[in-house]
Amino acid sequence: MPRMSSSLTNPSIKADAAWKLVLDRWFHEFLLFFYPDIASKINWTSPIEVLDQELLPLTTDSMVGKQLTDKLFKVHALDGRLCYIILHLEIQGDRETRFEVRLFEYSYKLYDRYRCPILTLAVLTDDSPHWRPSHYQAEVWGYKTHHFDFYPVKLLDYQEQADQLLATDNPFAVIVSIHLRSQTTRTQPRQRLHIKFAIFKRLLKQGWGRDAIRSFYTFMDGVMRLPEELEIQYHHDIYQLEKVKGVDYITSAERFGIEKGMQQGMQQGTLKTRLVIAREMLARGFDIKLIKEVTHLSDEEFSALN
């Protein structure tokens, strides 16, 4: 049996994309879960504009080339005033030495551009209970020159509520629970496989709609990486479950998960590697057409499996 990796940390770009997907889809639910008072002051009948591209020119030279998870939302308050909300996520515990400075720079540069209130929020996804930045302060000779506050939430604080969060009707509570499970299974691939499948099974039972299930699935794929052979098993188990349930989310799961996540590696992998993967998928009952698409085996190469 192949040896499993001792660490299942994801490439930051994949986790970044997973978080941005759920924030774009569930920004209202995000605020309701973490910042209900802020959510109550926003006019949700007015369009919410996502202006992430506006943050790119503000990136300092020291941050060029780093994977950032920053979002900018333009919202209308109930009293009609405009407000901009900066949302920063610290991904995978990669804590920045200039974290507070960067948020301060974003805030004053955006204010200089728009002359509107700028509210800065931060989601800390790391596993260090003591790292809790909340402000930036500068001084000269003991005289304060700048003071800037932002408003963080620490996902680690919800660790003891992970099971209860899965049972709520706020999708962002589910997202937090999934993230916490990804942390506790970082060095336990088989345990992660079991938990990942159990979450998917539970979400189906709870009656989430197709689009929500696909969003949860894609998020789990981004933050709960599995070794290749366990990833195959995971997709097969989902397929078998959905046959019993009479649903067909696996079609999207195969396209989003196997093809998107494995296809690039298959294109670059050796023929021997692709044959091994094809045999494993065939043994687990995957469709032959899908196996050929994923492994890029020719008809002649596929016939060599028999």
**46 is written with which tokens?**
């007015």
Q: How far apart are CA 218 and CA 249, in angstroms?
A: 12
Rounded Cα–Cα distance for residues 263 and 73 (Å): 34
CB 172 within 8 A of CB 30: yes
Cα dihedral 261, 262, 264, 270 in deg (nearest 10): 160
C-alpha to C-alpha distance for 20 and 27, rounded to whole angstroms: 10
Residues 156-213 pLDDT 10s: 999 999 999 999 999 999 999 999 999 999 899 999 999 999 999 999 889 898 889 9
Encoded tokens for 179: 């993230």
In degrees, to the nearest 5, what angle opens at C-alpha 141 toward C-alphas 138 and 144?
35
Which one-letter amino acid corresponds to residue 10? Answer: N
Domain ranges of the chain: 12-157, 185-303
List per-residue pLDDT tens for the chain, 306 residues long: 444 444 555 556 677 888 988 999 999 999 999 999 999 999 999 999 988 878 767 665 444 444 456 889 999 999 999 999 999 887 645 556 678 988 898 899 999 999 999 999 999 988 888 889 999 999 999 999 999 999 999 999 999 999 999 999 999 999 999 999 999 998 999 999 999 999 999 998 898 988 899 899 889 988 998 887 788 788 878 878 887 887 777 554 454 445 444 454 445 456 766 777 777 667 666 667 767 766 778 888 888 776
Q: Give the number of other Cβ atoms within 10 Å of residue 236's Cβ.
A: 17
CA 197 to chain centre: 17
3-state SS class at 58: helix
Sequence-distant contacts of 14-18: CB under 8 A, at least 24 apart = 14/222, 14/225, 15/69, 15/91, 15/92, 15/222, 15/223, 16/67, 16/68, 16/69, 16/89, 16/91, 17/222, 18/218, 18/219, 18/221, 18/222, 18/223
Query: How far, in Å, are 34, 37, 41, 70, 91 from residue 20 at the CA level?
Result: 16, 23, 23, 9, 11
Q: How many CB atoms lie within 10 A of CB 117?
A: 14
- Work out whether strand 69-76 and strand 151-154 pair parallel, antiparallel, or are unpaired: unpaired
Nearest CA to 71 out of 27, 134, 133, 12 is that of: 27
Paired residues of 185 in beta bridges: none
pTM for the structure as a whole: 0.77
The secondary structure of residue 179, as a DSSP letter, is H
DSSP code per residue over 152-167: EEEGGGGGGGHHHHHT
Report how far Cα 193 is from the mean position of its chain's Cα atoms: 17
Question: What three-state secondary structure class fits 61?
Answer: helix
| 181, 199 Cβ separation under 8 angstroms | yes
| Type of residue numbered 288 | I
The reported pLDDT for the residue numbered 118 is 93
- Rounded CA separation 227/1 (Å): 12
- Condensed to tens digits (0 to 9), the pLDDT of residues 112-142 reads 999 999 999 999 988 888 889 999 999 999 9
Parallel, antiparallel, or unpaired: how do β-strands 82-90 and 118-124 relate?
parallel
